[in-house]
Amino acid sequence: MATEKTFYLETFGCQMNAHDSEKVIGTLRRQGYRQVESEEEAGLILYNTCSIRDKAEQKVFHRLNDYKRLFKAGKRFGVLGCVAQQEGEKIFERAPHVSLVSGSASYRKLPEMLSRLEAGEHRITGLDDRQTDETFETEFTARQNPYRGYITIIEGCDKFCSYCVVPFTRGKERSRTSTSVLAEARRIGDLGYTEIQLLGQNVNSYRDPEGKRSFAELLAAVGEVPGIRRVRFTTSHPRDFTRDIVEAIDQVPTLCDHVHLPVQSGSARVLRMMAREYTPEWYLERIAWIKSARRTISLTTDIIVGFPGETEEDFIRTMDLLAEVQYDGVFAFKYSARPNTPALVMIDSIPDAEKAKRLQVLLERQREIQRINYSKQIGEVFEVMVEGQNLARGQIAGRSSQNKPVNFTCAQPIAPAPGSYLQVRITGAHPNSLRGEAV
């Protein structure tokens, strides 16, 4: 009997990576591999990596180092994703026990690369330097989340923000046809999923290659797929954020009350250096559209502090913007210089301690904003999708349409199943979650 083919896969980074891993797992299973839960059990050890900041990138090299002894036992290592595309064959120098290096734009070639690996070849690469027009679609996606189905609608990025590695790691921007997106949405609905999350580095830069639907029309069409109760989309770029997206949310009940719109900075000067192609005023106009919707749409954002040359004055502009928008959530990061990016030539002059201080000031202020925002929802009743339960505390964990975590009690003797929907009255609030009771 031939020995069984097994693999272990660990994923780092964003939802795009999480979903890519679902497709990679499906592809490996088609090739006769079985997924196992640890490096020790596996014949093939894969890391799907993130390089958005230096810290994320270092993680994979730590992992590779921790397990390199397993190479002698015959195990093989592969590095996938953004670090793979960024570092390419340099990975073989730094970690000679790695046999396979592939960026996300080459996953179509995975079956062939796996066959070569099985034939004993060492140092196999799938690297695409912004060449490919292909998207990676597979009907074998092994969905890991029991109630949320991810669908990639657009891959890559052509924006070239000066700090960002993504245009180099994920290739040029390319959209799937809306026909194929809708076919996948219907398949997901038929399988019993009730939530769909549309994914893209700039999801709203979507351009239907067949010219049939705009992004807002695609959103609305996905929202009307039988069985689908919630549709989310991430991440939006302010530059391509059009008013018809807000109109679609107002008109189609299944589109969730949440927009994630990364601003990065509140300073016009810093935004120019970042090559974001908008001013704070322009951004705030989009925020005004969202706030004038009939539904209350929750807003979240991403911010970078300590971009090269960011002055105290620039940082205050960002704080002013936070006060003005009153976000429900902020992901804030210290600037990290990345290979290939235009900002590399700017001197990363702000000491780490100063970046850390700005980050802390910002997060403390934002916590206060969220404490107030979240407590305003006490007394309201929301539909909550059940995600799990905390047995120790006798609580059910779920999420509102606004994407806020809701922990609640439920009088029913049997706990509601993950993926089910309940009406919950909000009885308490924290800066990052709500408490309540099922009604």
For ligand 5AD, the binding residues (CB under 6 A) are 52-53, 163-164, 262, 264, 302, 304, 333, 335-336, 338
d(CA 239, CA 245): 13
How would you classify the pairing of strands 405-409 and 421-429? unpaired
Please list every residue from 3 through 22 that binds ligand SF4, using CB under 6 A.
Answer: 13-14, 16-17
Query: 3-class SS at 307?
Result: coil
Q: In the bound complex, what is the minimum distance in angstroms from residue 50's beta carbon to ligand SF4?
A: 3
d(CA 286, CA 243): 8
Query: Among ligand SF4, ligand 5AD, none, what does residue 335 contact (CB within 5–8 Å per kind)?
Result: ligand 5AD
Please list every residue from 410 through 439 that binds ligand SF4, using CB under 6 A.
Answer: none
Residue closer to ligand 5AD (CB basis): 158 or 380: 158
d(CA 79, CA 99): 8
Please list every residue from 160 through 219 that binds ligand SF4, using CB under 6 A.
Answer: 165-166, 169-170
- How far apart are the two ends of the chain, measured CA to CA in Å? 58
271 contacts ligand SF4 (rule: CB under 6 A) = no
Q: In the bound complex, what is the minimum distance in angstroms from residue 60's beta carbon to ligand SF4?
A: 11
Q: In the bound complex, what is the minimum distance in angstroms from residue 226's beta carbon to ligand SF4?
A: 31
Q: Supply φ then ψ for residue 424, to 5 degrees.
A: -130, 130
Residue closer to ligand SF4 (CB basis): 13 or 329: 13
Enumerate residues 6+ apart whose C-beta is below 8 A from 413.
Answer: none
Residue closer to ligand 5AD (CB basis): 51 or 373: 51
- What Rg do the C-alpha atoms of the chain give, in angstroms? 23
d(CA 166, CA 202): 11
Q: In the bound complex, what is the minimum distance in angstroms from residue 236's beta carbon to ligand SF4?
A: 15
The binding track of 55-84 with respect to ligand SF4, each residue x by CB under 6 A or -, is: --------------------------xx--
Q: In the bound complex, what is the minimum distance in angstroms from residue 340's beta carbon to ligand SF4?
A: 12
Q: Which residues pair with 232 in a beta bridge?
A: 197
d(CA 393, CA 395): 5
Give the binding range for ligand SF4 (CB under 6 A) out of 49-57, 124-132, 223-231, 324-332.
49-57
50 contacts ligand SF4 (rule: CB under 6 A) = yes
Please list every residue from 81 through 100 that binds ligand SF4, using CB under 6 A.
Answer: 81-82
d(CA 46, CA 24): 10
Residue closer to ligand SF4 (CB basis): 234 or 395: 234
Taking alpha carbons only, the member of 346, 336, 351 closest to residue 51 is: 336
Residue closer to ligand SF4 (CB basis): 118 or 137: 137
d(CA 292, CA 290): 5
Q: Which helix (H) or strand (E) holds 31?
A: none
Q: Which residues pair with 98 in a beta bridge?
A: 77
Query: Among ligand SF4, ligand 5AD, none, what does residue 29 contact (CB within 5–8 Å per kind)?
Result: none
Q: Please report, as ranges, the residues that interact with ligand SF4 according to CB under 6 A.
A: 13-14, 16-17, 50-52, 81-82, 165-166, 169-170
